[in-house]
Amino acid sequence: MLRKRPLTFPTDKSIRVIADTDCSCECDDQFCIAHMLMTPRFDMCGIIAEHYAEPDSEQKSYEEIKRVMSLMDVEDSGIKVLHGAKQAMVDIHTPVDSEGARFIVEEAMKDDSRPLFICGQAACTNIASAYLMEPRIARKVVVIWIGGRPYPEGGFEFNQNNDLNAVRVLFQSDLELWQVPFNVYTAMKISFFEMLNHVYPCGKIGEYLVKHTMEVSGGISENVIGSRGSDMSKGAAITSFGGELWSLGDSVCVGLMMNNTLGKFHMEKAPDELDNRGFYEWSGRKGREIRVYDTIDNRFIIQDMFEKFQFYFGKNEMK
């Protein structure tokens, strides 16, 4: 269990949280989950595994969630870990049934006055499926989605394109949606020397997160320059995937749930449609309004994470 805090956080200020995560896809999800679990305001109701662009990816995500919780010694905390969809939606009308989607509905429809935030850190299959199963959850939840490209063009983005139909459902729904597009979540830069100084010394979880991130970064540095870097100059590709830093994009969710003003946003008409490449399409811009973030206070969020790692897993004891 996590170390006991000397001060009790006011329970009337707590919010319920469900994380929907492709936790084994790379390495920012693990930092985000750990940060959530260390944040007193969050009543973590459940963590749901999402699929991504690999076979058995949902199962891998499920196992990685379990690993993170075990390394933090919170696997017996009562927080539910649930299986989600194993594949994308076939159309915008048919939900993918899973225990994760059903859990979202169950938790949303509870008689609880506290808000329920759903953090979409991946494809939106489980969230969209829950909405299609029970549209009344729209009155009960706030969805923060890490995904999509900037407006007005849009374009290919990993989370979005792993289930375009699910994103279409979210845009066309009446869910309260806060979108954090690619240009904003990639601003969550952290250097490896910051990780080595502030995370690596913090117990088994800190050592694992840093080692795993460096392994993932090494693979990307070697392999991606020839694919994603193909439309870049050689210098741009080498400095983009150079192995000195990483982006903790999913951790934007943590900051916005702590205080929604940790970033600047504007209200945007949701796209009427997405084409099959992920570009936004408009037919009169009659879509409902959603919140779209333009900036994020990345240094506050990252420093808050450092302080929590130090408090819960660092070697310095509070006097």
Per the structure, the complete domain to which residue 199 belongs is given by 191-240
- What per-residue confidence (pLDDT) applies to 36? 98
- What per-residue confidence (pLDDT) applies to 285? 66
Q: Kindly tell me the sign of the dihedral angle through the C-alpha atoms of 67, 72, 74, 79.
A: negative
Count of all residues that appear for the chain in the document: 319
85/125 same-domain check = yes
Task: In whole angstroms, give the CA distance from residue 259 to residue 84.
Answer: 28
Q: How many domains does the chain have?
A: 2
Question: The CATH number of the domain where 109 resides is what?
Answer: 3.90.245.10
53/197 same-domain check = no
234/296 same-domain check = no
Average pLDDT, the chain: 92
**pLDDT (tens digit per residue) in 51-72:** 998 889 999 999 999 999 999 9
Question: Is 5 a member of any domain?
Answer: no
**pLDDT (tens digit per residue) in 82-99:** 999 999 999 999 999 999
pTM of the predicted model as reported, rounded to 2 decimal places = 0.92
**Stretch 20-28: mean pLDDT:** 94
Task: In whole angstroms, give the CA distance from residue 188 to residue 181.
Answer: 12
8 vs 319, higher pLDDT: 8
Question: Is 223 a member of any domain?
Answer: yes
**pLDDT (tens digit per residue) in 153-205:** 999 999 999 999 999 999 999 999 999 999 999 999 999 999 999 999 999 99
Query: Which letter does DSSP use for residue 238 in this model?
Result: H
- What per-residue confidence (pLDDT) applies to 130? 99
- What per-residue confidence (pLDDT) applies to 234? 63
**pLDDT (tens digit per residue) in 237-283:** 556 655 788 999 999 999 999 999 999 999 999 999 999 999 999 88
